[in-house]
Structure 1
Amino acid sequence: MKLNFILTVAAIVAISFAGATTTKAKTTLEIVKERGHLRCQVGPASPGFYNLDAKGEWYGSDVSVCQAVAAAIFGSKKKLEIQSVSSQVRFTALANGESDMLSRTATWTLLRDTQLGLDFTAVNFYDGQGFMVPKDSGITSAMDLKGATVCVLTGTTTELNLADFSRANNLNIKPVTFEDSNVRNDTYLQGGCDALTNDKSGLASNKAAFPNPGDHTVLPETISKEPLAPAVRQGDAQWFDIVKWTVYTLINAEEHGITKANVDKMRSTSTNASVRRMLGVEGNLNEGLGLSKDWAYNIIKEVGNYGEIYEAYMGGGKLGIGIGRSGSANDLWTRGGLMYSPPFR
C-alpha cells in the first residue's frame, strides 16, 4: 500500500511538472502580430514581379501580394519587411522560419508541395517556360536549338524542364547554369550562351531590363506549365488560409468591380450579399481567419484588386512589362481565363 501511494504521488508530480513546462507553440499569425510586421520573401530584383524604385522601395505584382497580406493583418500595407532571397535558399529560408511567407514566382509542383515542408496557397499567375534569343541569330523556333548553349538558373524547375525538353526532342542542348540571375543575364548579353530560358513572364521581365530590348525575341514555344503561387510553411492551417484567401480577395474584388478607388462606396451602398460578406458589412467570415471584420476591405483599400495590380506591373502600366492579359489564362474566368475565387460565404 505504501509503495502504491508513493507511485501515485510520483505520477501526479510528473504530470503536474509536464503541464507546467509544456507550452503551446505560437501560431504564425501570433508571431507576426507580436513582431509588428510581416516578413515576406521575394527574389532578386526583377521587373514586373518585384523591383526597387529610386528610393529603394519594393514594388511589383508579387510584392503587392505581400502588401495585401500585411494589410489583412494590420490594416496597413507598410507593416512589411521584404526579404530578397536567392533561388537556391528560398525554400529553406521559408521552412526554417526566417520568412513568414514566400511570394516570388515559385512554381507549384507535387514535390515542392509534399516534400519540402511547404504548402502552396492559390495561383496568382499562370505561366510557362520559353526561350529568348538575339533577334539576329536566325533562330525562329525552339527546335532550332539543337546543340545550342542555353543560360539557365540552377536549382529551379526551369533547369529540369530544359533537360526534359532537350532529351524528348533529341536536341543535345548544353545548359550553362548560374546561381545569380544577373550574372546569367550578363553572360547571355555578352554572347556566352546562344539562348536564355525562363518562364515567359520572366523573359518579358528580363527583356524589359536589357539595354536594347528590341534586339531580342522570345520564341513561340511554351515547353511547360508553371503555376506560380505564394507559399507558407506546413502545419499552420490558419496562416495557410489567410494567405490563400488574401489572393482570392484580390480576384473576387475584380470580379465584382471593387477597386481601390470605389471600395468605400461599395462597402456603404452595395446590396450584393457576396460583396457585403467580403467587405465585413454582414456575417462573420473573418472569425476563422482570426482577423478583423474589415480585413478584406483593408486589402482592397491598400493595394486594389487583381486586375489593377496586373495592369500596373505586368501589363501596360507605367511600371508594367507589357504582357497582355485579355483572353489569357490570367484573365478572369468570366472572360475565358483561369482566375477564379471560391465563394465568400
Structure 2
Amino acid sequence: MTKTVFLGTVAAVALTTGAALAQEGSTLQQVQQRDELNCGVNTGLVGFAAPDASGNWTGFDIALCRAVAAAVLGDPNKVRFVPTTGQTRFTALSSGEVDVLARNSTWTFSRDTDLALDFVGVNYYDGQGFMVNRELGVTSAKELDGATVCIQTGTTTELNLADYFRANNLSYTPVNIDSNAEGEQQYMAGACDAYTTDVSGLAATRAAFADPENHIILPEIISKEPLGPAVRHGDNNWGDIVRWTLNALVAAEEYGVTSRNLEELVRSSTNPEVQRLLGTTDDLGAMLGLDAEWARRAILAGGNYGEIFAANIGEQTPIGLARGLNAQWTQGGLLYAPPFR
C-alpha cells in the first residue's frame, strides 16, 4: 500500500510539473534557449558515468548525453551532468531539474506508467547478479542462505532479491545503501557478504578495486534489466529526439558508419539508409525540429554504439564486458534500430 501511494504521489507531481513545463515551452525550446542540456547521471559508476580528478565526466551513459547535446545544440560539451541516486533520479526528471535521465535505470511497467516517464529505448540489456569475496568460498547464489546483502534502496534490485530468495527458500539480511559508492565501501569493509546489483554495475565496481581478482561475480542472473534513457511523459517531440539519437548510434554501427569514416561516407555512400541517416537525402531532421546533420554530429560526438561500448566498458577496458545481448541483431544480439525512412 505504501509503495502504491508513493508512486501515485510521484506520478501526480510529474503530471503537474509536466503541465507547467508545457506552458513554458517544449523541452527542445528550453534546452536551446538555455544552450545547455541537463542530463541526469549516476553519482559515480566507473565505465558508465564518473568524473575524473579534474571533474570531467566520462562513460557509456555520458556518451549518450553528449550525443544528444551534439544533435540538438551542435556541441557535445554543452552538457551539465547532474548526479542522481536511485532515490532521487526520477524526481529530478519529473521536476524538470534534468531534461533526460541517462542513468542505468531499468524500464519497468510502473516506472513507465505510474511515474509518468517515457523510456525511449534500451541502451544496455542487463540482469541482476551477485558479487562475493573469493575467500567466502561461495560459487553459487544458492549458497548465500543467511547472508548479509548490500542493496541500493529505490531500485528494482530490492524486489528481485526478495523474490529470488523467497523462491529458493533462502534467508538474508539486507544492508541498505543509497549509492554505488556507499555499496562499495560497505562491501569492502565487510558489512555484507555479498553485493547485488546489475551485473554491469558489479563489473564496474570490481574494476575499481585494488584487488579485482579476489572478487567473483556469481553465475546466476536473477532478473531482466533493460536499461535505457528516460524523458518526461507528455513531450513527444523531445522523446523522439532522444529516441532517434540512440537509434542513430545503433544504426550507424550496423551500417559501418564510424566517427572515423563518417565524412567520407557523407560524400560517397550509395546506401539509401546511410544517406538518410547522414542527411544527404530526405531531411529527416526537419521532422524533429532539427537540421539535416543532427545524426552526423551525434555519431561524431563519441562514435557509433560499438565504438562507445568498446571505449568505455568493452573487453579491452578494466570493466571487461563482452557484447553478449548487446551485440547487433546481425551478430546474435538484441540491438536493432528501426529503419531511417
TM-score (norm 1): 0.91
| Residue from 307, 315, 339 that aligns with 2:335 | 339
Distance in 2 (alpha carbons) for counterparts of 1:123 and 1:183? 27
- What does 1:87-98 correspond to in 2, within 5 Å? 87-98=86-97
Distance in 2 (alpha carbons) for counterparts of 1:55 and 1:179? 24
Matched residue, 2:44:
45
Q: 1:148, 1:194 within 8 Å by CA — same for their partners in 2? A: yes
- What does 1:13-24 correspond to in 2, within 5 Å? none
Q: 1:151, 1:178 within 8 Å by CA — same for their partners in 2? A: yes
Q: State the 1:204 CA deviation.
A: 0.1
Q: State the 1:172 CA deviation.
A: 1.0
Q: CA RMSD in A?
A: 1.1
Matched residue, 1:208:
207
- The DSSP-based 3-state class of the residue aligned with 1:160 is helix
Aligned-partner residue type, residue 339 of structure 1? L
Aligned-partner residue type, residue 94 of structure 1? L
Distance in 2 (alpha carbons) for counterparts of 1:222 and 1:265? 43
Distance in 2 (alpha carbons) for counterparts of 1:263 and 1:198? 37
Aligned-partner residue type, residue 37 of structure 2? L
Task: Name stretches of at least 5 consecutive residues in structure 2 with no aligned partner.
Answer: 1-21
Aligned-partner residue type, residue 159 of structure 2? L
- What does 1:1-345 correspond to in 2, within 5 Å? 25-318=24-317, 320-325=318-323, 328-345=324-341
Q: State the 1:115 CA deviation.
A: 0.6
Q: State the 1:82 CA deviation.
A: 0.7
Distance in 2 (alpha carbons) for counterparts of 1:55 and 1:250? 28
Aligned-partner residue type, residue 344 of structure 1? F
Q: 2:45, 2:180 within 8 Å by CA — same for their partners in 1? A: no
Q: 1:166, 1:173 within 8 Å by CA — same for their partners in 2? A: yes
Q: State the 1:105 CA deviation.
A: 0.3
Q: State the 1:71 CA deviation.
A: 0.5
Structure 1 segments, 4+ long, off by >2 Å, are none
- The DSSP-based 3-state class of the residue aligned with 2:325 is coil
Distance in 2 (alpha carbons) for counterparts of 1:151 and 1:24? 43
Q: State the 1:55 CA deviation.
A: 1.9
Matched residue, 1:17:
none
Distance in 1 (alpha carbons) for counterparts of 2:40 and 2:179? 16
Matched residue, 2:7:
none
Q: State the 1:317 CA deviation.
A: 4.2
Deviations 1:278-308 (CA, angstroms, capped at 9, x unpaired): 1110112112210110000111122110000
- The DSSP-based 3-state class of the residue aligned with 1:143 is helix
- The DSSP-based 3-state class of the residue aligned with 1:286 is helix
Equivalenced residue count is: 320
Distance in 2 (alpha carbons) for counterparts of 1:185 and 1:174? 17
- The DSSP-based 3-state class of the residue aligned with 1:223 is coil
Distance in 2 (alpha carbons) for counterparts of 1:125 and 1:97? 25
Distance in 1 (alpha carbons) for counterparts of 2:321 and 2:224? 17
Aligned-partner residue type, residue 329 of structure 2? W
Task: Name stretches of at least 5 consecutive residues in structure 1 with no aligned partner.
Answer: 1-22
Aligned-partner residue type, residue 268 of structure 2? T
Distance in 1 (alpha carbons) for counterparts of 2:59 and 2:220? 26
Q: State the 1:181 CA deviation.
A: 2.2
Larger Rg: 1
Matched residue, 1:14:
none
Distance in 1 (alpha carbons) for counterparts of 2:197 and 2:285? 39
Q: Aligned in 2, Cα 1:24/1:171: closer, same or farther, shift over 3 Å? A: closer
Q: 1:238, 1:288 within 8 Å by CA — same for their partners in 2? A: no
Distance in 1 (alpha carbons) for counterparts of 2:277 and 2:90? 32
Distance in 2 (alpha carbons) for counterparts of 1:182 and 1:334? 37
Aligned-partner residue type, residue 337 of structure 1? G
Distance in 1 (alpha carbons) for counterparts of 2:309 and 2:300? 16
- The DSSP-based 3-state class of the residue aligned with 1:329 is helix
Q: State the 1:155 CA deviation.
A: 0.9
Deviations 1:113-144 (CA, angstroms, capped at 9, x unpaired): 00112100010000000000010111110000
Deviations 1:257-284 (CA, angstroms, capped at 9, x unpaired): 1100110001111011010111110112
